[in-house]
Structure 1
């Protein structure tokens, strides 16, 4: 019987109090939460936010707990923007959304910083008995968002980003799941003939952990050829399939035509829309997918938002967590 797991890929919204507090502490205008010295009061504020994010998940009843990534001011460009061998350029817009980050320009050799590992250790301390999930940008998306000023070759750069992330993962505390966020696979897919280079990079990171690896793609359907490569070559336990954005018929066609990973991660809740889905609606989307997909029993079906939840107001984000958790009880 398929296990239903309600979870999220992380990157939660900052509570309103934290936006104000951190803005004052960092000496920036409200909402301009760029990185900097995180000692003293700033570290204490982030610790309080982390505890709040974990408590939100426990109260909602999620099956797997993420750290919340409140320090990820640059979203999917983190943790690269904090690296000593990276210069951060100006604020730029990425993808076809109102998402902004500092352009990470890699100027030297990359190695692990331990930044995300420290976050995970802190989250595990907040809820030591709960299954822990780690979150990272996937190597293809991170390489896509970064600028290479050191390695000199696209292939070498993508491989270096993958090695860097794998080194970060090697330092993680025990975790049950690893979410690799890969929207660039949809928004800016590999050129024809280079799909295996992208899947090799993902496999490098996936091989660095014994946890279940979810490669979460979103903002529409993957191209057919790329989808087939990901299923066969990426080393993922589950591939994220967006049933909210784009034509979900294209998404399910890929599964019908090319099969699927042993488990599946379904983007069922809109991470960028304040409308809160009912648990029954989420369950209907799961059942619709399973009615269209090949007759097979997935080891695990992850019930996820289709994107990060950073874009939502606090009350809406919490309501969506609760709806996902409740939906696991509704799905037959």
Structure 2
């Protein structure tokens, strides 16, 4: 029997009420919070919004609960955007969509920060078990940033990996860690992915939790995928929404981990999948591959910040409803 675990990739949309409340705070921009200029009313709004999205996950019946990353205005670039050694500059397009982030430029040594650990500590107060951490993968974070300190692409990637590892090592107890690595697909490493795999391994080795590397916006190139399997991770995530055939080819041709994560729900489309459709996609993947997976993490394919609040909650409900029973392979 294959255990099916319903979870998400994090980076949630702000609840509608929180958007309205923050808009009413004169002169407020969401980036105020991460620039350290927030007032008590803004802080309390974000704290209440965190409780809201945690409750939404629990009410839906998800097996893993994320903090929500509501403060991550710069999306996956956030861990650098809030760091003292980093200057945020101009607005840059976030991958190939209509979202934008502030370019993080690393100007000094990346030392321990603790920002994300503090978010998880706050979330842990409301989650008895099944807490899940979310981080950008080191390759994607390096890809989204600009280096003006380390002076070498390889050294910069190593520094990003070491930085994320130190952050992850200070997390409270979590069940799983999702490392989000879309850049492995959109900007494949020039060396085929060996160095990226080593950086991922550095982060994964720093935490006592199941580590899932979620890739999306397509399927990995064959060499990148093969190198990724060398990292000490528990599951590779495949975006079945964007390229299900490419995912099947990689798994069947090059093998995979004992567990797998499947991007089954479209994180950028307001059309809400039914539980039956989600279940069918899981069963199709298991039928098309030769592996006997111990665990399938059923997830949206991307972050969920692109969705309206009501569609976001509906997709949580559908995902949880689709994964209430194990699957007999």
Same fold (TM over 0.5): yes
CA shift, 1:82, in A, is 0.5
- Alignment match, 1:201: 199
Q: Aligned to 2:232, which of 228, 232, 235?
A: 235
Q: Which residue of 1 aligns with 2:101?
A: 101
Equivalent residue number for residue 112 of structure 2: 112
Question: Is 1:259 the equivalent of 2:258?
Answer: no
Q: Identify the range of structure 1 (32-41 vs 16-25) with the bigger mean alpha-carbon deviation.
A: 32-41
Secondary structure of 2:25 counterpart:
helix
Separation in structure 1 between the aligned mates of residue 33 and residue 292 of structure 2, nearest angstrom: 45
- Shift of residue 34 of structure 1? 6.8
Q: Distance in 2 between matches of 1:242 and 1:161?
A: 25
Once residues 238 and 194 of structure 1 are traced to their aligned partners in structure 2, the CA distance between those partners, rounded to angstroms, is: 20
TM-score (norm 2): 0.96
Per-residue CA distance 1:120-140 (angstroms, 9 max, x = gap): 01101022x131000011100
Instruction: Tell me if structure 2 keeps the 8 A contact 1:26–1:33.
Output: no
Indicate conservation of the 8 Å contact 1:283/1:330, yes or no: no
Where does the alignment leave 5 or more consecutive residues of structure 1 unmatched? none
- Is residue 289 from structure 1 mapped to residue 285 from structure 2 by the alignment? yes
Match in the other structure for 1:54: 54
TM-score normalized by the length of structure 1: 0.95
Does 1:304 pair with 2:302? Answer: no
TM-superposed deviation, 1:331:
6.3
The CA RMSD over aligned residues, in Å, is 1.5
Deviations 1:218-269 (A, max 9, x none): 01111011111111x1211000100001x31111101010011110000000
1:44 aligned onto 2:44: yes
Distance 1:240 1:38 in 2: 36
Q: Which 4+ runs in 1 deviate beyond 6 A?
A: 31-34
| Aligned length, in residue pairs | 326
Matching residue within 221, 246, 252 for 1:223: 221
Give yes or no for the alignment of 1:321 onto 2:322.
no
